[in-house]
A and B are shown apart, each in its own frame.
Chain A
């Protein structure tokens, strides 16, 4: 075997050992060394040259990037996750003779989940279009798709219960982030939909474990809600009699534009 490849695989083994030990700092150090070493290989994207050890090099590089993705989830760095995923993507799309990786589907699902949490729904759907319909049956990806649907429909309790059925343990981080977003959404919806809620119900819906947490949350995020007699009142009285103002500026603008266009007609 090529001495460079042997060196690289040894470094990779040390990286994996540190990962299992949960020693993330050493992992990060090893990872940067690995990435620098990888730039010396010509068989990797974007060059994709056919050297004699091409397949080996590419499989090794792909494993390294997959582990990098999992590492970035563990250290909770979303930007690193995005970068590593983009570097990993060419290995999945232009395979050039590689065996399909077992980690491919969980990682694709992880990326979809990340886009969902960051509320980048347009990119979520663009990524979805790239997947073949067979991939949509895979549990990891199906999980992300169903999550997006429930989110769009507003069935937030389904989103929260999906936390129990995670297909892969790396998803737990994103589910926690999602729970926070969901809580904000529920608060916004309840504000408009209900006149008042009892403290117990509010606590249940917003998923707090105790009344103090609920009170603190309301004080921080929604100071306009009132708490009286064990009920939370949402401010809805102000929309009873809106005075009908004529939006004069808009009307003036519109009429002027009509006059201008009509004058242009010869």
Chain B
């Protein structure tokens, strides 16, 4: 019969072989990669070149998905001395696998001659790997314990090459505590670690720890203390783009609460712009806060902001809010605020929304003043839908304050209860366009200068005289560097 023809049988057999092969490949694809990463770290540690270690970490992040317990246990066996304390500690976190995988494991490990260097970098790297694995498996309690032991190990190390690894470790340490809801416990530890990092001139560590501390304070709404820490902590050129974005975001949040909206807007918009494309959640948060700050400043954000790829659903409540503020209708504003109150409270922007009421009234007033040359105050209060026991007197004082603040241009006649708007003059005959142009020019020039300063050159390049061979090598390295900078965007921190 046709189904049992030899050709078909061979085909199905080949297909299943192929499947098993790819399964095995996926299982073991990671081990050679991990070994390459180890080699990179070793070279970097001996040559004291931090760049290689950074590259190693970036590679590892890409492999994160393929990590399995079997792979990890084999790797630990390869790298660490089996009897050592660290090895047994980390090994205990990995689940015990079934027989088949163990057999395959032992065959591969038996074929190598493991070189047990026990570089401190490698040890910390293993801690990091196990920690990431535990967090990805959602075993947060164990992740907490693992991270605490790793931090204890870090206290004795003082090498620049370990800094990159340790900053990642701090991040996951804080993350594991945050996911279990115990952030307040580690605040003291983070402060002590920050002190140590400052003493050792570990700038990347300082940056990371400052951000983690700010996050800690802001999690509990302690804006006052966060601001005090931020203003006193030493500042320097940012070493890592991701940390800088985070710092800008936290700074923007603090400034918003302190009512300094212009500074806040600048920080938040910069954070949203600098963030890599892959960090969608972060950019959504930045945009949410930026929208509110712009509304509080009195300007309406453009529709394109809400239509960015992937953000439409998340920004929908804010879009409706902007609509309500733009129209200047208090009733609509109240309905929108009530409708999405759960979203706003989970974003912790509900107090800011309350402050927006004032802006709604101002916008409504501005619309009225532009459309009417003369209108009675009773009508004004009706249009603004001010629900209060004495609307006319309220409207009168509100309009008076708006006139004083320069929001509208009008005069009040108390005896008749009227508001009379003034003619708006020709804006091009004033200095306004000049001022607006100036701010844009200053911004572009600033951007240009910052881009120049951010150009990176390899260190020690001016010291050696170049032979043709070295020049070739250097050019190849530069190409690789450029490629990795382009890949930087995919880095998930």
Show the binding face of A for B, using Cβ within 8 Å.
121-123, 125-126, 128-130, 133, 145, 149, 152-158, 185-186, 188-195, 197-198, 201, 244, 247, 251, 254, 258, 261, 264-265
Contacts and interface: CB of A to CB of B under 8 A. Distances in A.
Interface of B is mostly: helix
B358 A129 contact: no
Contacts of B401: 153-154, 156, 185, 189
B448 A265 contact: yes
6 contacts: A125-B355, A133-B345, A154-B400, A193-B400, A193-B412, A195-B413
A129 B411 CA distance: 38
A189 B400 contact: yes
B388 interface: yes
A153 B412 contact: no
B404 A193 contact: yes
Nearest to B398: A154
A152 B401 CA distance: 9
Contacts, number: 96
Nearest to A152: B358
Nearest to A265: B448
B393 A190 contact: no
Given A130-B222, A186-B397, A158 B388 contact: yes
Given A129-B351, A186-B397, A258-B441, A192 B259 contact: no
Contacts of B355: 125, 152
Contacts of B259: 121-122, 125
Nearest to B394: A155
Given A154-B402, A193-B411, A125 B397 contact: no
A153 B354 CA distance: 12
A191 B357 CA distance: 25
A254 B223 contact: no
B361 A153 contact: yes
Interface of B: 221-224, 257-260, 345, 350-351, 354-355, 357-358, 361, 388, 390, 393-394, 397-404, 410-415, 429, 431, 434, 438, 441, 445, 448-449
Contact of A129 (B223, B390, B414): B223
Given A157-B397, A186-B397, A129 B403 contact: no
Nearest to A202: B414
Q: Which of A121, A123, A189, A247 has the most CB of B within 10 A?
A: A189
Given A153-B358, A201-B414, A258-B441, A158 B351 contact: no
Nearest to A188: B404
Contacts of B224: 123, 126
Nearest to B402: A154
A206 to B, nearest CB: 12
Contact of A125 (B257, B393, B400, B402): B257
Contact of A154 (B354, B357, B397): B397
B258 A126 contact: yes
Contact of B411 (A125, A195, A201, A254): A195
Nearest to A122: B258
B358 A149 contact: yes
A157 B221 contact: no
A122 B260 CA distance: 8
Contacts of A191: 404
A125 B350 CA distance: 12
Contacts of A155: 388, 394, 397-398
B218 to A, nearest CB: 10
B426 to A, nearest CB: 12
A194 B445 contact: no
Nearest to B345: A133
Contacts of B438: 254
Given A158-B388, A198-B414, A261-B445, 5 more contacts: A122-B257, A129-B351, A157-B393, A190-B400, A201-B415
> Across chains A and B, which 10 residue pairs bring their CB atoms closest together, nearest first?
A154-B401, A189-B400, A193-B400, A122-B258, A193-B403, A189-B404, A155-B394, A192-B404, A154-B398, A193-B412
B454 to A, nearest CB: 16
A65 B345 CA distance: 33
B365 to A, nearest CB: 10
B258 A125 contact: yes
Nearest to A123: B224
A129 B345 contact: no
A194 B357 contact: no
Given A125-B259, A155-B388, A157-B397, A189 B403 contact: yes
Contacts of B412: 193-194
